[in-house]
A = this chain, B = another copy of it.
């Protein structure tokens, strides 16, 4: 049996929090002594751990309450929904960071930014556009599939992935006569981007940096040149066009 104080220090929450959880019937003490003191048992401690776990994931207390009294599969789908929400928040935060950076530059006068552009990120149109991009960027199926890490793959799988990568480059070379803006080339970029998922999490902005590096850093250029002397530059252009069209 734990007193409020004991439980609070054990779990690292305030006494007030326990009072509150009791008040909203989220966590009730096992029993109440004659003197009115709350007394918790181990089951209560466990439940509190669960609560804190979901709270850390930014669930609302009301939702936690429902969750804890629901069967397992409902918890899973709740978590999946929450996962989507977190991805949206991640995207939004990334966008905010960028805007803040731009604004700082603007205020410092280091960069010209029309008022229009300053507010552009928040127009309804842009919001919709952004939502569309975020949806693409964070399409659950895509991300879930790509989130597994390279090291977890079997040798055959790794080989298959590498073959896939080579295939992308070959197709890219085949698409070179049609121009970097051709649907064929753009499709290759899309595939390349997904292929990169196996190694690290892609990011639209970083994509261009990566392609540039491919074309300029000695780490990669020689290798590319061996396949085709203009592949690196072609890829950079294609990726630039791809990024521009995606972030339009």
Give residues in A with beta carbon < 8 Å to B.
12, 49, 52-53, 56-58, 72, 75-76, 79-80, 82-83, 86-87, 89-90, 93-94, 96-97, 99-101, 103-104, 107-108, 118-119, 121-122, 124, 144, 147, 149-151, 158, 162, 165-166, 169, 199-201, 203, 205-206, 208-210, 212-213, 216-220, 222-224, 226
Contact = CB atoms under 8 A, between A and B. Distances in A.
A26 to B, nearest CB: 18
Contact of A199 (B119, B210, B218, B226): B210
Contacts of A90: 90, 93-94, 97
A59 B62 CA distance: 26
Contacts of A223: 218-220, 222-223
A104 to B, nearest CB: 5
A162 B218 contact: yes
Q: Which 10 pairs show the lowest CB-CB distances between chains A and B?
A: A200-B206, A199-B213, A223-B223, A90-B93, A199-B209, A86-B97, A83-B100, A200-B209, A79-B104, A76-B107
A147 B203 CA distance: 14
A150 B203 CA distance: 15
A70 B147 CA distance: 45
Given A101-B144, A162-B216, A199-B209, 13 more contacts: A56-B96, A56-B121, A86-B97, A90-B94, A149-B205, A151-B208, A199-B213, A200-B206, A219-B220, A219-B223, A220-B223, A222-B222, A222-B223
Contacts of A76: 104, 107-108
Contacts of A226: 222
Q: In the complex this chain forms, how many copies of it are found?
A: 2
Contacts of A124: 12
A226 B224 CA distance: 14
Contacts of A210: 199-200
Contacts of A97: 83, 86-87, 90
Contacts of A87: 97
Contacts of A217: 162, 165, 199
A96 B96 CA distance: 19
Contacts of A58: 96
Contacts of A93: 86, 89-90, 93
A102 to B, nearest CB: 10
Contacts of A158: 216
A200 B205 CA distance: 8
